[in-house]
Amino acid sequence: MTPSRGRLLPFRNSQRGGIFFRLLFLLFLAFFVFVVYLVRHPLLRMAGRFWIVDDTPAASDAIVILGDDNYNGDRATRAAELFKAGWAPRIVASGRYLRPYASIAELEQHDLVDRGVPASDVVPLAHHATDTKEEAAVIGNFISAHGWKRILLVTSSYHTRRSRYIFARTLPPGTVLRVVAATDSEYDPSNWWRNRQGVKIFFHEFTGMFVAMWEMRHNDAQTKETFLLLVPPVVSYAHTRPRCQFTRG
């Protein structure tokens, strides 16, 4: 064996070793992609459900329904159910102005009355907020002015996690916040990827959550929860429907 061939042997061996490990990596990668493909539907369902939080309702000072409800008024439907169950004596209908003389809050008020909530128990809150963060600030000032400390926040199921993150860092310190999900007819967490609207909603929440976390990265949660509020409300049977006994503020 010549000296030059002796020097080439380790180089060729290292080449063979490199090719072997690259081939091994590609095989592992192909296997991983195959496994992900097999379990893609459970993973997509898990991702779709990640955005949803649904706290147990508790006796509160007010139910707050966020603006921009869908065409079917699903948020109003859930808020009306909570009101009729007696969890709060009033519903705050939050909504932005569409015109100087009309707002989403008025539409929500109409939806709530149409679902059996007395008009006197609906508090319309019209504002100029353009996103959830601005709306949270408006609602925070509003409940602070009324001295309300316990809030049931109702919004679309896919919007609950981001709403809780934002409101927990915006509402007055010490506010007891519970977020209740309204099943949304436009978003099915088990099949969101099968239709265009579901995909749009999913990635809108993904982007919105990222932006909220970045904008509020220096803000700590100010709200609180208490296990005492898990106790069912006191029911008065003097009414035709169960209602909690509250002191109106």
Q: Does a structural domain hold residue 153? A: yes
Residue 22 falls within a domain, yes or no?
A: no
- Does residue 195 fall inside a structural domain? yes
- How many structural domains is the chain composed of? 1
Domain that holds residue 178: 52-236
Instruction: Report the alpha-carbon distance of residue 123 to residue 117 in Å, rounded.
Output: 11
Alpha carbon 3 to chain centroid distance? 71
Note whether residue 165 is domain-resident: yes
Q: Could you tell me if residue 118 is inside a domain? A: yes
pLDDT value, residue 40: 78
- pLDDT per residue, tens digit, the chain (249 aa), is 555 555 555 555 555 556 767 777 777 777 677 666 666 789 999 999 999 999 999 999 999 999 999 999 999 999 999 999 999 999 999 999 999 999 999 999 999 999 999 999 999 999 999 999 999 999 999 999 999 999 999 999 999 999 999 999 999 999 999 999 999 999 999 999 999 999 999 999 999 999 999 999 999 988 876 433 344 443 333 333 444 444 444
Query: Tell me, what CATH number does 218's domain have?
Result: 3.40.50.620
Residue 10 lies in a domain: no
Residue 132 to residue 186: CA distance in whole angstroms: 19
Is the full-model pTM beyond 0.85? no
Instruction: Tell me whether residue 168 is in a domain.
Output: yes
E strands in 17-110: 62-65, 91-99, 102-103
Strand-strand pairing, 122-127 and 176-182 = unpaired
Nearest to 154 by CA among 76, 222, 88: 76
Q: Is residue 174 packed enough to be buried (19+ CB in 10 Å), middle (13-18) or exposed (0-12)? A: exposed
Asked, for residue 196, whether it belongs to a domain, the answer is yes
